[in-house]
Amino acid sequence: MNLLQDETSPYLLQHKNNPVHWMPWGAPAFARAQGESKPVLLSIGYAACHWCHVMAHESFEDEATAALMNSRFVCIKLDREERPDLDAAYQSALSLMGRHGGWPLTMFLTPEGQPFWGGTYFPPEPRHGMPAFRDILSAIADSWQKDAGKITHNVASLAAALEEINTAAKGALVPRGALDNIAQHYLSLIDPAHGGIGSAPKFPNLTIIKFLWSAYLRTDAPACKAAVLHSLTQMCQGGIYDHLGGGFARYSVDAEWLVPHFEKMLYDNALFVSLLTEVYKETQNPLFSDRITETVEFVLRDLRSDDVFATSFDADSEGIEGRYYVWTAKEIDAVLGKDAERFKKTYDVTAFGNWERTNILNRLHSAYGTAEEEAHLKTLRQKLKAVRDKRVPPARDGKVLADNNGLMIAALANAGFALERQLWTEAAQKAFAKLAQDKLVHTGKHAALLEDYASMCAAALALYDVTQDKSYIAWTEKWTAVLDKEFRDEKGGGYFMTAKTQTDTPVRLKSAQDGPVPSGNGTMIGVLTQLAALTGDAAYESRARAVAEAFGGNVVRQFFPYAAFLENGDALQNPVTLTLSGDFAAVFRKVSWPALVKIFKDGATPSAMLCQERRCLAPVTTPEALEKLLREARCSTSAANDG
């Protein structure tokens, strides 16, 4: 029988009525597999995943397919957002098989949980060069019964390979001159026409865009600034952005940012708000402030529940991807009347449509207008949104993930400060208060991972930066102590993804590679560097250096997925602090310098002392002098000062 009815994950509950005899991940499922001498079929997905829904409808709801699964396998359903550690391990195994990863992830395991074959989506019938799912099931089950030697060989080979790729290569910290060369390589990957990196499908890659922004701040290189502004502008004006409800979709299926994969994730929107806030400080571009505001409004209106934030919105509604978001020209005519023509021209709406005979609202061919023009367009969008609100909305995954919430807390704190929206900062404080406890949890009954602690530490330091409340530093120290005790690799350096008490994973992963969000190890280099400055405890700097050196050899071989690691490693080697008393808030609302650590001291007398390159400069006492000092000092260091 299907045993998912008692789960809390919205994704698992979506499958509770499947004829498949699903079991949740856990010892009972593997005990059953061992008792029946059957292989395990592990299916991993998440609630907002379109192709997960497709495979569920085609195969898991099909009685004949379910009967085959039930008779020859023990079937486990897993929400990747509840157990990202397991997902990461099995995605790594799939990669070692020479196959592209993604979701749904379909893995075949031994009764001990070791992988021996896998794939992603499989169709119900042979299609586009892919075998039918039922044919795969029969072949795997037959091989399990008749070719145990081959299975054993695959298990052993994959286990050895997983251990090998999971072994971090130690090396020296990356010097600043090398960072400048890496920035030039990233710059060469930027699409000159549409911004961003790569072609279709196209992901925002915000950790790399942020790296380029830091390179601009460090070097004053116009090309780096232009690449960031162009990329963010195209994303903000494209269909990947929801022009009626606010917020960004996960990625674009084309190179132009027109057609989104319509799911909306909390973490993507947190990263967008964070980066747009830094860029807005320097540019004061109203497009960016509007996108920050609209995205935060979306998060607070649609993703907040009991002061914390839900995980995502589905791509589908009424079984159709994007149905909630698209419009026909006639629908817009009916709502906007005489204003319809102007709106349609601005938002690329035609009778034929720009996607599957419907229209995805976008402004890729319409420049931002005057304040008066934009205010009028806003009233028209509000009319359309009121109509859209009556449609059947995509499902919301209400899970509360500590790592994703940490990203949003930091984003809200910084944006609330920069745009002088006190309610946003208060929302960040309330969410933090709900989640903060001596030992964090990832979500529900699931233990916290490295990324949860790292993200919440960074959120705490962001809140200290805008509130000057030292209790946030205390939380950071407390959680760092937990990481050092339960997650640190005593032999190789760096932090494992899971605590030493977590024993149900096929391999204990340790990585500094960014995924859709910055890596936990990369983030912790920045956290530890800031703690060293804020507390005066040099041990934190030593720990940060140990983390950075643990992966130094990996970065030499392949630096593309290490943007956060590299950026925080630079902050470690080139620490910059500003000791403050008095009110200089206006300066920090127009100067972007994410690596700058502000140390607040009591006292009403204005004073700001900058310490850089292991030396302190004479204090300044006026906002004008501080702004001039920061802009000059920000790009004053050179590759000659590496260290």
User: Could you check whether the bond before residue 39 is cis, i.e. omega within 30 degrees of 0?
Assistant: no
Spatial strand order in the sheet of 40-45: 23-24, 74-79, 40-45, 105-109, 115-119
Give me the pLDDT at residue 638, please.
Answer: 44
What percent of the chain stands above pLDDT 90?
91
Q: Say yes or no to pLDDT of 643 above 80.
A: no
Q: 103-132: per-residue pLDDT in tens?
A: 999 999 999 999 999 999 999 999 888 899
Give the pLDDT confidence of 39-89 residue by residue, as tens digits: 999 999 999 998 999 999 999 999 999 999 999 999 999 999 999 999 999
Lowest mean pLDDT among 5-9, 152-156, 399-403, 548-552: 152-156
CATH architecture for the domain at 176-317+397-573: Alpha/alpha barrel (1.50)
Instruction: Render pLDDT for 215-227 as a digit per residue (tens, 0 to 9).
Output: 999 999 999 999 9
Q: For residue 637, what pLDDT is reported?
A: 55
Confidence of residue 639 (pLDDT cuts 50, 70, 90): very low
The torsion angles phi and psi of 22, rounded to 5 degrees, stand at: -65, 145
The pLDDT confidence band at residue 99, using thresholds 50, 70 and 90, is confident
pLDDT higher at 161 or 229: 229
Pairing of strands 597-600, 607-612: unpaired
User: Residue 604 has what pLDDT?
Assistant: 83
Residue 641 has pLDDT above 70, yes or no: no
- Please check whether residue 615 is in contact with residue 637, taking contact to mean a CB–CB distance below 8 angstroms: no
Strands 597-600 and 576-581: parallel
CB within 8 Å of 536: residues ≥ 6 apart: none
Give the pTM. Answer: 0.95
The answer to whether residue 444 scores a pLDDT higher than 60 is yes
What are the pLDDT digits (tens) for 508-565? 999 999 999 999 999 999 999 999 999 999 999 999 999 999 999 999 888 999 999 9
d(CA 432, CA 371): 35
Q: How many residues does the chain have?
A: 643
Beta bridge partners of 159: none
Is residue 555 a contact partner of residue 565, using CB atoms and an 8 Å limit? yes
287-330, pLDDT tens digit by residue?
999 999 999 999 999 999 999 999 999 999 999 999 999 999 99
Closest residue by Cα to residue 14 from 104, 102, 134, 84? 104
pLDDT in tens, 572-589: 999 999 999 999 999 999
Letter for the amino acid at 378?
A: K
- What is the per-residue DSSP string for 184-249? HHHHHHB-TTT-SBSSSSB---HHHHHHHHHHHHHH--HHHHHHHHHHHHHHHHSTTB-TTT--B-
What is the 3 state secondary structure string of 487-503?
A: CECCCCCCECCCCCCCC
What is the CATH code for 10-165?
3.40.30.10
Question: Tokens 């906007």, residue?
Answer: 336
Side-by-side strand order, sheet with 396-397: 264-265, 312-313, 396-397
pLDDT band at 603 (very low <50, low <70, confident <90, very high): confident
Q: What pLDDT is stored for residue 128 in this prediction?
A: 81
Spans of all domains in the chain = 10-165, 176-317+397-573, 325-390, 576-641
